[in-house]
Amino acid sequence: MIVLVTGCRSGFGQNIALRAARAGHTVYAGLRDLNTAGPLVEAAKGLPVHPIALDVVDAAQREAAVARIIAEQGRIDALINNAGVAIGGPLEDLEEDEVRHVFEVNVFGLWALTNVVLPHMRAQKSGIIQNISSVSGRMALPGLGAYAASKHALEGMTEALRVELAPFGVRVVIIEPGPYKTDILGRNRALGRKAQRPDSPYADLSARSDALFAKVSASAEDPEDVAERCVDLLTDPSPALRHPMGKSARMRLLARWALPDGVIEAVTKAALKRAK
């Protein structure tokens, strides 16, 4: 299969690209900055992995990346939309440009790239779209509202795409990881500018949220688990829509299904109270 993976600098993207190549697929590994390709290139020696310039918010790069793949391979069989960013801070403490950036990367850029790929998949009457969401796409936590909102949007968009594309033989799935050791917990997560101010009315909440976040991050799981699932799904003829990944994600989604909203809120407030 010919596979395009976005956000391959590290984490899920890099792991998916390498595992897919080891499974015999030809992989185009999207990178916002090709100067960061060193670790991927080193790890991929001898494997059919092709680093490609692809900032998902750049229309010209979206078009060029897909055009190159079609020119070189004549087809594209899988798009794994992994590139994403996060921002922390209470919603009132976030500024418009910060929230817009999260949505530009996590929602609009993903949607636009998918639309560049789809005409080729429809023409060949086959393909798979894998959208890397998050457990936050179904259950938001305080201090991560903007990120959760972007993933909620992605979940809804993916549900619609799955039905719209089924007549064309294109499969669509959502991957919903909990906390994993990736850059979404580090380099790709920022704290809103106003949220860092000590005079913020949410200063205590932010401190407690960050303490809870740090605790959760310390027990984050190995991203190779997600990569394995993504590669397995490439050849699954009838995959389920949603794929929660990790113990934390499964526990939170079970709680969402089984407990009233009031109980979940009470548990969240108690966890924040114990934090810091």
The per-residue pLDDT for range 90-106, each reduced to its tens digit, is: 999 999 999 999 999 99
Beta bridge partners of 140: none
In tens, the pLDDT along 126-166 reads 999 999 999 999 999 889 999 999 999 999 999 999 999 99
Q: Does residue 147 have an active-site annotation?
A: yes
pLDDT tens for 228-252 read: 999 999 999 999 999 999 888 888 8
How does residue 214 score in pLDDT terms, banded at 50, 70 and 90? confident
- φ, ψ (nearest 5 deg) of residue 123: -65, -35
Pull the structure tokens for residue 75: 């087809």
Domain 2-274, CATH among 3.40.190.10, 3.40.50.720, 1.10.1280.10, 3.30.460.10? 3.40.50.720
E strand segments, 35-179:
49-53, 78-81, 86-88, 127-132, 170-177
Catalytic residue among 28, 147, 180, 202: 147
Q: Does 213 score more than 90 pLDDT? A: no
Instruction: Give yes or no for residue 72 having a pLDDT over 60.
Output: yes
Contact 213, 143 (CB under 8 A): yes
Name the H helices within 166-260.
Answer: 203-218, 224-234, 247-258
Residue 60 confidence (pLDDT) above 70: yes
> Checking DSSP bridges between strand 49-53 and strand 127-132, what pairing results, if any?
unpaired
The Cβ of residue 35 has, within 10 Å, a number of other Cβ atoms equal to 7
Residue 220 has φ and ψ, to the nearest 5°, of -60, 150
Q: Which amino acid is at 168?
A: F
Please give the Cα distance from 209 to 203 (Å, whole number).
Answer: 10
Pick the residue with more confidence: 271 or 265?
Answer: 265
State the chain's mean pLDDT as an integer: 92
pLDDT of residue 250: 85
